Structure 1
Amino acid sequence: MKKDNQTIVDVFLLLGLSEDPKLQPMIFGLFLFMYLVTVLGNLLIILAINTDSKLHSPMYFFLCNLSSTDICLISTTVPKMLVNILKHSSTISYVGCLTQICFVVMFSGFENFLLAVMAYDRYMAICYPLHYTGILNTHVCVQLILFSLAISITDALLQSLSLLQLSFCTNMEIHHFFCELVQVLKLACSDTFINNILAYVVTTILGGIPLLGIILSYIKIVSSIFRMSSAGGKYKAFSTCGSHLSVVLLFYGTGFGVYISSSVSDLPKNSAIASVMYAVVPSMMNPFIYSLKNKDMKEALKKFMRRSPVL
């Protein structure tokens, strides 16, 4: 149905990772497992931090926010795919698709800023240990979180509202398991030049500035560690950064991997499979990275499990 050359869209079709009916039960089981592991793992991190007074510090406050964001991010994409598989359907409403884009952009952006804030936290703890608690007090930590969230929400609303100005063609097929901004823009009949410029410029700025902050923080951290005379001090400093650095490499590594694979391969299915690496895998792996590499988190999780009658 058309009106004033605008196509009124009711639904989009999410084609997922495969249209083969025989593969659907396996895909459903795999993603259900990944979703449950992600949610339970991150919930354990949050509960362990909140119940252990030793972990009531800026570092673990930011980690708690990171775990919450990971739960929100994966809950924005995977449950809809699981429901569609159960219903033998591939549809998502126009409003639902735009809402999904909005939340994916918001939570991805917020995680990006959180990693930069956590790098700044490690920089202050290692380079200025005597002033650490004074500078990164509760008020400052909350302000950093609110500022990061405000920028992420603004970006998400800007990207989503810009889509409302577009008209769409009759081909509503999205070769992904969720509504991805770039894929939806490809379906538009109207000119998407402004939308693409907005997406790439904002993504470059809001992605580049936190990444630059992380790189500069670690340059200062490494320089400070090498100036330490004690081998034990060096080891302790490196160990406190190990978990965060692993999460950073996973988050940005998967993101750049998806970008490179999309540039090299024109096959939509390859792009859809690659998108799993940045939309699902980092959120699932973060709890394991922090619980395995961080001694304090290990002890806090053990205490929490011993106290919990369920676990």
Structure 2
Amino acid sequence: MMSFRLIGGLLLASTFVVSAHLCNDVFVQARDNLAVKVDIRDGQLRINKEASFRVYLLNTMDRDIVDIRLEVISPEFDGRVTPSTDWKGFPHLKTSLKGGKKEFFDVMLKRKSGTADGKYTIGLRLFNGKDRDMEFKTVAIADAMGVVPVPRATPGIKVDGAPQRAEWTTAALVSGFSMNTKREYTENKPADCETRVRFVADDQNLYALVTTPSVADNDRLSLYFAADTEATVRRIDVDLKTGTLTGAPDGAAAMVAEKGLELCIPLRGLNLPRSFLINLARQRQKELYFWRGPGAAIDNAVVFARLVLAD
């Protein structure tokens, strides 16, 4: 279980686990093909008496969801859930494979009388509005935010193709890439070639160390950046075999290393705050591996994580 403690106001993030009632393909597909995103700019949801945020949804199933609703699971807080006024077809959630787009609920949490500062468990439950027992999924607020703290780089860090252990010991590690498998519908499975990316940052640059046991011809890592869920997504590609960069800002550099690559991207060139959304994908010849997915939505900010750079 993971939680954050209240300090002054209320900082909410928790792990909430339930067993889904899977009745047919729609509910099975929801595991990998229904993205849920809580987008808080600094990665922390703080409340004094009450606070509001958005819960974004993206459907990448092979079919539409006819009726989807959201409720907050918490004994300590009252939750008010309202679909966006721009969600014209609510409660119908159209699949992105047939022209559907992200939609969102506005959520307000209000502290119940007698709820003291402390640690709390909060879940977001998505269910069939025609039968509340038919659940698509329940996710933790922390998981839906997907926050990754990035430590400060050690002074004098170099992108020279010779990574030193001391430069990357404290780095944030991104791993666990997936790939799609197609049966009756698309599912995620662990990638068959490991990819590990470490991040550190200083006031000027974001640094990354990419490691993998095997680099092939036509082997590319793509980094997707966005300020928030509604912002334009920027993509930077780096060839893992040659270090060639595409779409990178001036001053970016990549150097091939043994079993990987070092990368430096100037933050000023990204024009992003020190807390921003990111996703990673690797195209290795004909295979696509991705960090946050599903594969059909790797460039949609609803599936991105949030990097929070240390001051």
- TM-score per shorter chain, which class? under 0.3
Q: Name the structure with the higher strand share.
A: 2
Which of 1 and 2 has higher RCO (CA within 8 Å, sep 6+)? Answer: 1
Higher helix share: 1
Q: TM-score normalized by structure 1?
A: 0.26
Flag the structure with larger Rg.
1
